[in-house]
Structure 1
Amino acid sequence: MSNGSEQANTYHSYRVEGFTCANCAGKFERNVKEIEGVQDAKVNFGASKISVAGSVTIAQLEQAGAFESLKITTDEPASSRSAAATSNEAKEKPSFWQTYHLLLYSVLLIVLGYLSYGINGEQNLVTILLFLAATMISGAKLLKIGLQNLLRLDFDMRTLMTVAVIGGAIIGEWAEIAVVVILFAVSEALERYSMNRARQSIRLLMDIAPKEALIRRGNQEQMVAVEEIKIGDIMLVKPGQKIAMDGVVVQGQSAVNQAAITGESIPAAKGVGDEVFAGTLNGEGWIEVEITKHVEDTTIARIIHLVEEAQAERAPAQAFIDKFAKVYTPAIMLVAALVAVLPPLLLDGSWSTWVYQGLAVLVVGCPCALVISTPISIVSAIGNAAKQGVLIKGGIYLEEMGSVKAVAFDKTGTLTEGVPSVTDYEVLEEADADQLLAIIAALEHRSQHPLASAIVNKAHEEDVDDSAVKVEGFTAITGKGISGSVQGTTFYVGSPRLFIDQLAIRLPQSLQQRIDELQQQGKTVMLAGMDNRVLALIAVADKLRSSSRKVLQELQALGIKQTVMLTGDAHSTAQYIGREAGVTNIEAELMPEEKLQRVKQLQERYGKVAMVGDGVNDAPALAASSVGIAMGGAGTDTALETADIALMADDLSKLPFTVKLSRKAMQIIKINIAFSIGIKLIALLLVIPGWLTLWIAITADIGATLAVSLNSMRLMRMKE
């Protein structure tokens, strides 16, 4: 690829302050695309950002947004902003008076105007000047932009309002146009407030990670700004402190509250070798952490970036609204013109009456509520999901999740814990169970077998100390087990074949039946003993997650028609785990391409299908599914990048919540759209008897905007 092409495809991100509505964001995007040297531009209204491909300056961007007086700044990684920058941002935040003083002045002038109206009459010069002053103070920007749009034949809601104000002035409705302009300003303020509340969830994520950390370099300890911390530095984290950077614990142990990243309510135990994340809260232990990522690459920084990108991904419902609004606005202008002209021409109606009705149609036709209804719902839902430990990477996936009819699960690490553990430990002869377990663990401690760690962990769980057991003559018996001498006695640990074939021990029938029973449950059975008898039986398996069965039941209660387990494991293991979990169908001994084929077959039968896996081994099936859901996104770069949805805490119980959130979001969006259009139609029907007034029109618009905003923000409070 040529350098020119590479440059054209490189996007630079900028933050935008001053958006008042989704339509204005769209207009800004179009203006930026017309700048010479710009190949492409994408506005993210939800995150108040614009990404630009090509050569452009901040001055050029601000010129393109001059119609909204937009302020543009470069987009620094959220978590790498210095403490000083954060402090400055807080200081620069305008007060209520600074934000709304013009609106308050206008309200005062309108009150004075109505007093003059009562004393001097509607057409008195003082009355007219008071109403005109109120109109110009709160509506000068609106009228300026509206006139520019009208000259360009760019029909948006401000064009409609401007034509209505000009028409109202011509027919002398000074009081009403002043009130209409103020109420429109209130409506825009409501839109800004609603979107800012929805965006707040992302701002909270930005603020949770400290801006500096205590770093040890050589023999010195010093506070260092996070952007200056290097990979390999040692970070010292005191009890009760927030962790500033991602890294691995190299000394100490503690419990860390990871709720900000994973949504887990219970603190996670951390010791040497465990990973910790920026923005999480250390418990009562002192830990030393080796830094593994730069500040812009920390898990919290990537989550913020991905959530902001997700808000820019338009759901099909939002795409529909965008297309509808392009046709809707010119259509309203045509209807308004016909209402104003046809009755006087054809029915001998009063020109002043019907021109007024036409102006009211223009006002009621403003699609503010309709345009805001979808983006605020999506931003609220995605932001809430992020706080709950579910990363949804776009509005389209939020919408798709709600219509899923079948869910396919990988087995290992998804329905099961993914780590082998001892499920059964049975002593077969009269012997000290703990002492025997200590000997077995001491032998396994020297083994390289994948299942050895399960037995060692079992000993630790039972508080059995194997460190005092001295093993001599340790030998690995290839494919069968291990042996070693303890206090002059040789002990063996291995498969039943080791004792049957090599030691020529005849197993009792009861023991053989027990081995068969455990193997049918998908467990790996090992025996421990001496050269002439068996002393204990140990079964190891990848255990079913404690939440799996409940999750499957909840999904089925939500109307998911088919839950399928797709695994490459043996049929016997798959059948046992599948039955325990409660899936409706079990597919075993599958290669990755066969998993992909099964997902496609499910799609042919059920339509929308979700696939839940670890984001690595199941990549083909995850990619082919309608929604790919990866487990454990917080610690897995691949899961964050490849999945459509990532369960950050490796917590399957978040899956039913995600389905419910998706369905609730889609329900709210549909209600918002229906309400927005319905309230307009009802108001327009008032034209027939001539009852529609500018007051009713703007009240219908502001009422609808307020209603859909409040309805959408309910998604921010939805819990599991």
Structure 2
Amino acid sequence: MQWLSLFIEEMCCPAEVSLIQSELSRKPGVGDMEFDLFSQRLNVQHDPAIVTPNGVRRFLAEFGMTAHPWRDVREMTDFQGRSQRLRTLTTWMSGVSFLAGIVFHAVQFMPVDGAVDWITSETTVYTRVLYGLSILLGFLFIGPVAFRAILRGRADMNLLIFVAVVGALVLGEWFEASMVTFLFSSSVWLEQWSMKQVQSAMRGHLQQSPLIARCRKSGHGQTVELPIEQVDVGSLVEVWAGEIVPLDGRVVKGESYVNEAVMTGESMAVGKQKGDFVYAGSTNIESTLQLETICRVNESTLTRTMTMVAEAQAKKAGIQTTVERFAEVYTPLIMLAALCLMVIPPAIAGQTFDPWFHLALVVLVIACPCALVISTPVATTVALTRGIREGVLIRGSRFIEVMADVKTVCFDKTGTLTEGNPQVVSLWSKEKSRRDELLEIAATLEQQSLHPLAKAVMSYAESQGIAPLPAPRIETVFGQGIRGVIGGRQCWIGSLGWARKLSEDLEALSDQHTEPELPGTTVVVGIEREILGTLRLEDPIREAGQKLVGALRQAGIRQTQILSGDDSVCVESVQRETGMDVGRGDLLPEQKLAWIDQLSESTSVAMVGDGVNDAPALARADVGIAMGAMGLEVVLKSADVSLMNNDLNKLPWLIRFSRKVRSTIRWNIFLAVAAKATVLGLAFSGFAYLWLAVLADTGATLLVVLNALGLLRSQHD
């Protein structure tokens, strides 16, 4: 099975999504489908041996859906722009013709029938021509879709409006038929405009990446501009001041400040120099940088992030699924009610047919559930976009819903609450005169190690002016330390437990500098069976971690816990310093998993971590939150949310924002239902106007979208 990505011209309403899903699911060789209504994008899984991509497109065309291969999002934006301009032109022409008809109608009959009753007066030929022209222009888009709906036996909003307009014409209500057509055309235009605001917000990040990269030819001083798709890994790319970085890379030449807000949400520029990593989509502010690309465009952090966003948009929230199921029942019931209104009172009570027929048409228009169906996805789509702006990648709208209910948050320690960058905080030498020798041996043994503690030891030695010696024979003893021959002597560096096995110098090991009650990690350095001294390393707590518990309390979190594989002494120290409720150390991955399971029995749990040993717990928690955009792939795939810039301050924000999104969704549903109920009540109270029903549906849809867009503008969540 292969995935095919298509742009669907006509897919601008939930009704089209339902139609495509219903028809395509019956096509042999077609599998899963994903819809992005706001980008008009369809991802469909198909078996090329049974149905080709062109076969899928031809089948879509059979029921009125024009499909184009999805290319660059900016090309799709241009295509949508042309379609929008054509609809704008016909809508305005329909409006001009409608207004001209009103003028002719009013001039002829207002002096005779009065300021109100002229509307119901019989229309002249000229007035009918103008009203008719308005209807025809409006039906350029409505008619074909309604006709295809008839052929397929499916009732969508276009068909309902078509029936309402034809019914009004049958009753001789030219004014109302023309007004309904113009209002509906205007409503579709307004919906497209408001959806475009959502699309613009979503696409802002993709448009951060340029299409062209300035590549420097190896061995020459010349540069050549290439499409970013043709730039290979290891290419040298030149980025001038004010330009946007085209691909992920590392600085090989130059120094500058770079704005990485596109990925991290942090508006402050970050200094970059040789060896530093730079995200695609970042803006180079100060001076020219020369980068060596580390991946192709389809593997860049920005592209992977936007792919995750696209996948997230395809994942429905639970409340969205509930609303859609309700709409599937609601529309047929309302249509049945309209049919009963049209037939039963005249047939049984012998009442006049025309008023009941008119009332039935109003009820038909009310049957459209557009505002109700989009009430949830428009809010969650905007929320996902706002999350990216804040440096928070949410992997699906349902996780926003779950996050709003979280009451307990668990944290890994290293790299999550702490910087994940250990530092040497003290050195104890058994003989002060051998201090430099101790550091020299430590640096020599650690120089080839990839362990985080090794980097800290090397940095400390360098800061003290100590350089490592050549040591060809170095051996790592798993879980214990490192040993090797330096200057003909067997030297070693490692844990306290290992040191006790290697040395009989118990007096040195009992010194207060090696007491296990002290926070941090102690490593012992020795030669043969002699101990030279110790180094104590600590991993600094993140600045945000020191105030995190208070912020989480204010956000409504009841309990915070540390679940760490580090030793209990270190965990308890961090617990005291951060104010966490519980600290559990010496945990294996399966033990973390067991604690998450136990907590989940009584409360909704979020787990925050950054290492491979956190992946099972992240996957099992109600919401798994990973630290960092450049984290391990297994961690990011296990997580439901990623804090792109490692900012723990975004965690309380995410909880508050999730609750605000839930509140917005509930308001949207209320607005959609209230608008329908109000018009229905007015219709049965004697105010049965088709144009009022269309206006209410348009207004509800517009209010729902604008209310959701407010999530983008909110500054204090």
TM-score by length of 1: 0.85
Task: Decide which of 89, 104, 116 is 1:116's aligned counterpart.
Answer: 104
Task: Decide which of 241, 248, 268 is 1:266's aligned counterpart.
Answer: 268
How does 1:283-302 map onto structure 2 within 5 Å?
Answer: 283-284=285-286, 287-302=289-304
Deviation at 1:553, TM superposition (A): 2.1
Task: Decide which of 4, 10, 14 is 1:12's aligned counterpart.
Answer: 4
The answer to whether the 8 Å contact 2:63/2:148 transfers is: no
Answer yes or no: is 1:73 the counterpart of 2:68: yes
The answer to whether the 8 Å contact 1:313/1:395 transfers is: yes
Task: Decide which of 537, 540, 544 is 1:543's aligned counterpart.
Answer: 540
1: CA distance, partners of 2:332 / 2:473? 85
The answer to whether the 8 Å contact 1:44/1:50 transfers is: yes
Q: Which residue of 2 aligns with 1:30?
A: 22
Instruction: Tell me the amino acid that sits aligned with residue 38 of structure 2.
Output: G
Instruction: Tell me the amino acid that sits aligned with residue 166 of structure 1.
Output: V
Superposed CA deviations along residues 28-81 of structure 1, whole A, max 9, x for unmatched, are 3333444565345433323321122133344752662576663x3323466xxx
2: CA distance, partners of 1:476 / 1:97? 71
Distance 1:667 1:91, change over 3 A: closer
Instruction: Tell me the amino acid that sits aligned with residue 396 of structure 2.
Output: G
User: Runs of 5+ in structure 2 lacking a partner?
Assistant: 110-120
The answer to whether the 8 Å contact 1:45/1:312 transfers is: no
Q: Which residue of 2 aligns with 1:699?
A: 695
Q: Which residue of 2 aligns with 1:5?
A: none
Three-state SS of the structure 2 residue aligned to 1:94 is helix
Q: Which residue of 2 aligns with 1:208?
A: 208
Deviation at 1:230, TM superposition (A): 1.2
Instruction: Tell me the amino acid that sits aligned with residue 540 of structure 1.
Output: L
Distance 1:472 1:76, change over 3 A: closer
Deviation at 1:323, TM superposition (A): 1.1
Answer yes or no: is 1:105 the counterpart of 2:93: yes
Three-state SS of the structure 1 residue aligned to 2:250 is strand
Distance 1:354 1:527, change over 3 A: same
1: CA distance, partners of 2:595 / 2:134? 67
The answer to whether the 8 Å contact 1:615/1:642 transfers is: no
2: CA distance, partners of 1:515 / 1:110? 89
How does 1:315-326 map onto structure 2 within 5 Å?
Answer: 315-326=317-328
Q: Which stretch has the larger CA shift, 280-289 or 436-445?
A: 436-445
Instruction: Tell me the amino acid that sits aligned with residue 409 of structure 1.
Output: F
Deviation at 1:331, TM superposition (A): 1.0
Q: Which residue of 1 aligns with 2:625?
A: 629
RMSD between superposed Cα atoms in Å: 3.8
Q: Which residue of 1 aligns with 2:35?
A: 43
Three-state SS of the structure 2 residue aligned to 1:447 is helix
Q: Which residue of 2 aligns with 1:466?
A: 465
Deviation at 1:716, TM superposition (A): 2.0
The answer to whether the 8 Å contact 1:190/1:705 transfers is: no
Q: Which residue of 2 aligns with 1:81?
A: none
Three-state SS of the structure 2 residue aligned to 1:711 is helix
Superposed CA deviations along residues 376-433 of structure 1, whole A, max 9, x for unmatched, are 11111111111221111111222221122222211111111122113457999999xx
1: CA distance, partners of 2:395 / 2:534? 48
Instruction: Tell me the amino acid that sits aligned with residue 128 of structure 2.
Output: I
Distance 1:444 1:257, change over 3 A: farther
Distance 1:441 1:429, change over 3 A: closer
Three-state SS of the structure 1 residue aligned to 2:648 is coil
2: CA distance, partners of 1:659 / 1:231? 39
Q: Which residue of 2 aligns with 1:4?
A: none
Three-state SS of the structure 2 residue aligned to 1:618 is helix
User: Runs of 5+ in structure 1 lacking a partner?
Assistant: 1-8, 79-85
The answer to whether the 8 Å contact 2:301/2:629 transfers is: no
Instruction: Provide the identity percentage.
Output: 31
2: CA distance, partners of 1:218 / 1:21? 52
The answer to whether the 8 Å contact 2:430/2:508 transfers is: no
2: CA distance, partners of 1:404 / 1:237? 44
Three-state SS of the structure 2 residue aligned to 1:548 is helix
The answer to whether the 8 Å contact 2:416/2:627 transfers is: yes
Q: Which residue of 2 aligns with 1:575?
A: 572
Three-state SS of the structure 1 residue aligned to 2:232 is coil
How does 1:620-659 map onto structure 2 within 5 Å?
Answer: 620-659=616-655
Q: Which stretch has the larger CA shift, 535-544 or 353-362?
A: 535-544
Deviation at 1:166, TM superposition (A): 2.0
Deviation at 1:439, TM superposition (A): 7.4
Asked which structure has the greater RCO (Cα within 8 Å, sep 6+), the reply is: 1
Deviation at 1:466, TM superposition (A): 0.7
Deviation at 1:138, TM superposition (A): 0.6
Deviation at 1:128, TM superposition (A): 2.2
1: CA distance, partners of 2:76 / 2:562? 53
How does 1:501-512 map onto structure 2 within 5 Å?
Answer: 512=512
The answer to whether the 8 Å contact 2:413/2:564 transfers is: yes
Distance 1:312 1:65, change over 3 A: farther
Three-state SS of the structure 1 residue aligned to 2:602 is helix
Aligned length: 686
Deviation at 1:640, TM superposition (A): 3.6
